[in-house]
Amino acid sequence: MRTTYKTRPKQLLMTYLRSVKGTATVEDIHQALPEIDVSTIYRNLEKMAEEGEVLRFPDELGKKACYQAAMETCENHLHLKCLKCGRVIHLDCDSMQEFVDHLRERHGFTLSYGTTVLYGICKDCQKKEDENNQ
């Protein structure tokens, strides 16, 4: 049985992530909590992600990530991440359930909701891109 310790930095990180609407990068967190060293933030976030307390959403290259406090609802839907602005959208849609069922029935593959991220461009960034191309 693994013992999890509630250190002060970990408590501050969780309090901050729970207060944020959406996701936060390490830079966002360090700006809000300058008393915590950047390496301590990284170390704690990785451990918290391993323990399921935090969701880690890597960018499409896997180099940079944003984080969110894990919620029970995250286990029940997929996530969309915008390649332009980095926004993470929680996808609660009956059509996605059909896709998940298709994967299981036709391909023998069970998708993990809480860790699945689909990458693309959100409607706001797409609108800006369309306006710039006119």
What CATH number does the domain containing 102 carry?
3.30.1490.190
C-alpha distances in angstroms, 133 versus 86, 122, 127? 21, 16, 10
pLDDT (0 to 100) of residue 104: 92
Residues 9, 24, single domain; the answer is yes
End-to-end Cα distance, the chain? 59
> What's the rounded Cα separation, in Å, for the pair 20 and 68?
8
Domain total in the chain = 2
Of 15, 48, 70, which residue is a domain's last?
70
Amino acid at site 116: T
> Which tens digits make up the pLDDT trace of 44-96?
999 998 888 888 888 766 667 888 888 755 666 778 888 888 777 877 777 77
The band of 1, judged by pLDDT with boundaries at 50, 70 and 90, is: very low
pLDDT (0 to 100) of residue 19: 92
Residues 60, 80, single domain; the answer is no
With a threshold of 0.85, does the pTM exceed it?
no
Quote the tokens at residue 48: 């918290």
Starting at the earlier edge strand, list the strands of the sheet with 88-91: 88-91, 78-82, 117-120
Residues 76, 62, single domain; the answer is no
Amino acid at site 120: G
> What's the rounded Cα separation, in Å, for the pair 76 and 100?
11
Residues 105, 118, single domain; the answer is yes
Which helix (H) or strand (E) segment holds residue 25: the answer is strand 24-25
The band of 37, judged by pLDDT with boundaries at 50, 70 and 90, is: very high
pLDDT (0 to 100) of residue 2: 46
* Domain containing residue 96: 72-134
Residues 16, 80, single domain; the answer is no
